[in-house]
Amino acid sequence: MRLEDAILKIADSGEVGRYVKKGVGVLAGGLMDIAFPFLIPTQDVVEGPGSSADVVKSLKRAGGKKALIITDKTLHELGILDTMLKGMDAENFPYAIYDGVEPNPSIENVEAAFDMYKKEACDCLVGFGGGSSMDACKAVSCRVAKPEQTIKQMGRLMGYFPISFSGANSKVPYIVAVPTTAGTGAESTVAAVISDHVEDRKYTVTDISMRPRTVFLDASLATGLPPRVTAVTAIDAVSHCTEGFISYGRNPRGDEWAIKGVRLVKDNIEAVMADGKDLTARQNLCTAAYCGGQSLNMETTGYIHPFCHKIGAKYNLVHGRCIGAVMPIILEDYGEVVAPRLAKLAVATGIADPNASESEQAKQYIQWIRDFDAKYGIDPYIPEIRDEDLDEIADSIMVEIFVYPNKKVYTRDEIKHLLKVIRGDYANA
């Protein structure tokens, strides 16, 4: 029996999975709280508009001789890299640019960038762009460290920590991350999500070794973002802060990041949507996204992301658009199981009335997300989901969720029902 088939069998039994998750989740959450600073490679964070000009200093300090910059064509053509490139040119620091990253970065993207890294004799990496470019960059670092293993092999369940467990940590090149959107938190996380277009699925490669060593949060790079992109990335940051906070994996340090992240989105999104060039508010959204990444690292995730990973990969949809639709539906379905924690987050971030009941506060948090969607044009449903795909999507969700410490456990039939809710089948019921 394949490992994934065995997981599906256990996962579909419901209760067993819940008790395992509680034990493992509480243990892992506690461990992360105590050991995070020792387990995860430290990361320098440089904040401020224009700070990407100093990327070169970071690369030189690390002993880099030639960088491969991994980005997408639009950013390259719009000149968003210029501040960073001018800094490199001024120091005569050599670089090559791979600008072929797609919105959902593919195995082909990673392989093409890896080939360029070798051909150009690079020794360090810069992931420049949204989560796609940074994830592609992190995945390339894994290929550099372990060229004999494919992304598909590294992204399977047994491929967790494929670099660290093989002792190839020292072969991972120095990585700088420069996010140009404020949402994914990929600059902070220890995972990379890569699409396999042949099998219509996404692989999550997880390894602490590929965590970028220096991050530049430069709000001036995001001032030209269309409002829709700003909105869908911000709601993604909110989801990263929310999912772990309500899981068995929660812990005090992770909670602090989560509360800070949601609060920063809540307090700054309106200003940025009104004026995309508001650098103070933009910088705060960049910080919010980073907080979301930290929250993900420390408290992991729940069902919202597995739903969005599979739906996004299957129909080639933007991640944040999926998140905006899926998050309120899943949180509502979790119901009383998560209400006390959701209420706590809602009050701590100023979203809910502190005098209301826990159940009411949780509802106010969900309503805040729905209002966010409506106000900033994020679709509340995903009508692209097809009947004939329900089983395949459900299986993929059940495999991915297996390792997450979520409090509610769904059977295959319950997931299929939720997929229909997400599609909008009961919208007017």
CB of 104 to Fe ion, least distance (A): 12
The span from the CA of 208 to the CA of 58, in Å, is 20
Distance of CA 368 to the CA centre of its chain: 21
Give CA angle at 215 (220, 144), nearest 5°.
125
- CB under 5 A: which stretch of 144-152, 214-222, 233-241, 283-291 binds Fe ion? 233-241
Contacts of residue 154, Cβ cutoff 8 Å, sequence gap at least 6: 142, 146, 162, 203, 205, 207
Nearer to Fe ion, 67 or 193 (CB): 193
Nearer to Fe ion, 12 or 236 (CB): 236
Nearer to Fe ion, 76 or 314 (CB): 314
Nearer to Fe ion, 218 or 236 (CB): 236
- CB under 5 A: which stretch of 89-97, 120-128, 229-237, 266-274 binds Fe ion? 229-237
CB of 258 to Fe ion, least distance (A): 14
CB of 195 to Fe ion, least distance (A): 14
- How many residues make up the chain in this entry? 429
CB of 308 to Fe ion, least distance (A): 7
Q: How many positions of this chain bind Fe ion (CB under 5 A)?
A: 1
Nearer to Fe ion, 232 or 339 (CB): 232
The span from the CA of 372 to the CA of 235, in Å, is 8
Nearer to Fe ion, 67 or 191 (CB): 191
Nearer to Fe ion, 67 or 186 (CB): 186
CB of 184 to Fe ion, least distance (A): 6
By beta-carbon distance, which residue lies closest to Fe ion? 236
Residue from 238, 292, 290, 239 nearest 265 by CA:
238
Told to check if 236 binds Fe ion by CB under 5 A, we report: yes
Residue from 227, 289, 286, 270 nearest 368 by CA:
270
CB of 242 to Fe ion, least distance (A): 11
Phi/psi at 40 (5° precision): -100, 135
- CB under 5 A: which stretch of 159-167, 215-223, 230-238, 386-394 binds Fe ion? 230-238
Long-range contacts formed by 366-374: CB under 8 A, 24+ apart: 366/328, 366/331, 366/332, 366/342, 368/266, 369/235, 369/238, 369/324, 369/327, 369/328, 369/331, 370/328, 372/231, 372/235, 372/238, 372/269, 372/324, 373/235, 373/324, 373/325, 373/328
CB of 299 to Fe ion, least distance (A): 13
CB of 239 to Fe ion, least distance (A): 6
- CB under 5 A: which stretch of 101-109, 199-207, 236-244, 259-267 binds Fe ion? 236-244
The span from the CA of 187 to the CA of 131, in Å, is 8
Nearer to Fe ion, 56 or 418 (CB): 418
Give CA angle at 287 (281, 293), nearest 5°.
145
Strand-pairing partners, residue 96, are: 68
What is the CB neighbour count within 10 angstroms for residue 426? 11
- CB under 5 A: which stretch of 15-23, 235-243, 349-357, 366-374 binds Fe ion? 235-243
CB of 72 to Fe ion, least distance (A): 18
Nearer to Fe ion, 69 or 241 (CB): 241
In this structure, are residues 191 and 298 in contact, taking their beta carbons and an 8 Å threshold?
no
CB of 106 to Fe ion, least distance (A): 18
Q: Which two tokens stand for residue 172?
A: 């991972």
- CB under 5 A: which stretch of 218-226, 232-240, 259-267, 336-344 binds Fe ion? 232-240
- CB under 5 A: which stretch of 6-14, 118-126, 228-236, 410-418 binds Fe ion? 228-236
Told to check if 400 binds Fe ion by CB under 5 A, we report: no
Return the CA Rg of the chain: 20
Told to check if 218 binds Fe ion by CB under 5 A, we report: no
Nearer to Fe ion, 99 or 135 (CB): 135
The span from the CA of 195 to the CA of 10, in Å, is 26
The span from the CA of 342 to the CA of 387, in Å, is 32
By CB under 5 A, name the binding residues for Fe ion.
236
